[in-house]
Structure 1
């Protein structure tokens, strides 16, 4: 959502750029697309190479090692993770302790297909549980074999699957980044609410995930201009509106 608004603003500021093609995918898919020189969707193949990539620093560091990028820099931070719940929070889920209740099932991103987000959410839950003096036993099951009474995993793109799981009542809460939950509540206000578990807003129980960006190769004709624009005050305001915060410059 923030990227879409930012690219629209960039195109208005640089009319000569023409159309901008962009994708938003889990890091695994984006890196596979770069290495393969394109992406296949069914029998449709897009032979494209990105000029700019935005991703967690660990992902971009690997691409630097492989020679696809020369460098990257911190871009934006998430503001932590929240529990997405059904509108009105009918089960009264307010904190991590409520995840131990027999009538509450949690949704998490998949530990195999979405390792980055799953690790952030998992570590966040474990730190908050330690702080509260409880143990979330259902998190200790082997990857891919969750306790079906307590935990369900997404398959590949959790930011689509988490809200669907809530609406379908397959899960009572989903651990998602704050900016995702904010988006769901804004566009589907009749379906969703969210809660900051155990007053985690502003503390370090949920590690603030860093998002970085950099040029792929030489960035093509417009890559450097876009990269510079992403660090402008205009883009910072867009991202703050959508629930993220800028890195100190």
Structure 2
């Protein structure tokens, strides 16, 4: 009985140590939170970083492509300064493919929260916008961007070209084409750089052995995987 109790105590203590060892120092949200009477954000548990602003009866609802969370603070501040009548704005910064499914289905559930807001504005790639053209009265190109590689500080794996990503020792984190259209563009870049051999290596072989990780929410998972190593 004594041995059993000691073993139980050891397991319990190890469990506590593992919980304390969890790191949240880089966890989102990375935006400036709106002012409120109470800010109850618990890193790693209650943080909902891709829902922003006033969810109750918003005057304007915007669905941004996920990686545009970086401009939300400055953009909304400037917008409200120019259009002060818009006091309650609700923003989502989820992957465009997820936002498209939300628009088509009329709702989304995140954790225990169900959202049924319809966007006044939806931003996404040209292909995604074309596929959603029937849902909006007007579409307009407003920016262009380039695909780039993000590596840990100092570039320890000496990545210089896309072909370097075929190395068995290189771990890759990239958008899953199933969720984000940019994933197909990345595959096309692999094909242009190294042909079907590189595409197969990265998108099949390395996915199977775990060295290529296909994200569900690339603009959060990939930076965190780099930050936490």
Structure 2 CA distance for aligned equivalents of residues 139 and 104 of structure 1: 10
Alignment of 1:57 with 2:119, yes or no, is: no
Instruction: Indicate if the aligned counterparts of 1:27 and 1:55 stay in contact, CA closer than 8 A.
Output: yes
Q: State the structure with more CA Rg.
A: 2
**Deviations for 1:185-213, whole angstroms, at most 9, x for unmatched residues?**
xxxxxxxxxxxxxxxxxxxxxxxxxxxxx
Who is 1:74 aligned against? 141
How big is the alpha-carbon RMSD for the aligned residues of Structure 1 and Structure 2?
2.4
Who is 2:201 aligned against? 138
Who is 1:126 aligned against? 191
Match of 1:162 among 222, 226, 229: 222
Instruction: Indicate if the aligned counterparts of 1:108 and 1:158 stay in contact, CA closer than 8 A.
Output: yes
Cα distance, 1:149 vs structure 2: 5.6
Instruction: Indicate if the aligned counterparts of 2:173 and 2:212 stay in contact, CA closer than 8 A.
Output: yes
Instruction: Indicate if the aligned counterparts of 2:203 and 2:212 stay in contact, CA closer than 8 A.
Output: no
Who is 2:168 aligned against? 102
The structure, 1 or 2, with the larger RCO (C-alpha pairs under 8 Å, 6+ apart) is 1
Who is 1:24 aligned against? 93
Match of 1:147 among 179, 203, 208: 208
TM-score (norm 1): 0.57
Q: Mapping of 1:1-249 within 5 angstroms?
A: 1-65=70-134, 68-78=135-145, 80-114=146-180, 116-129=181-194, 135-136=197-198, 137-139=200-202, 141=204, 146-148=207-209, 150-154=211-215, 156-169=216-229
- Extract unaligned runs of 5+ from structure 2: 1-69
Pairs aligned (count): 159
Greater fraction strand? 1
Structure 1 CA distance for aligned equivalents of residues 109 and 213 of structure 2: 28
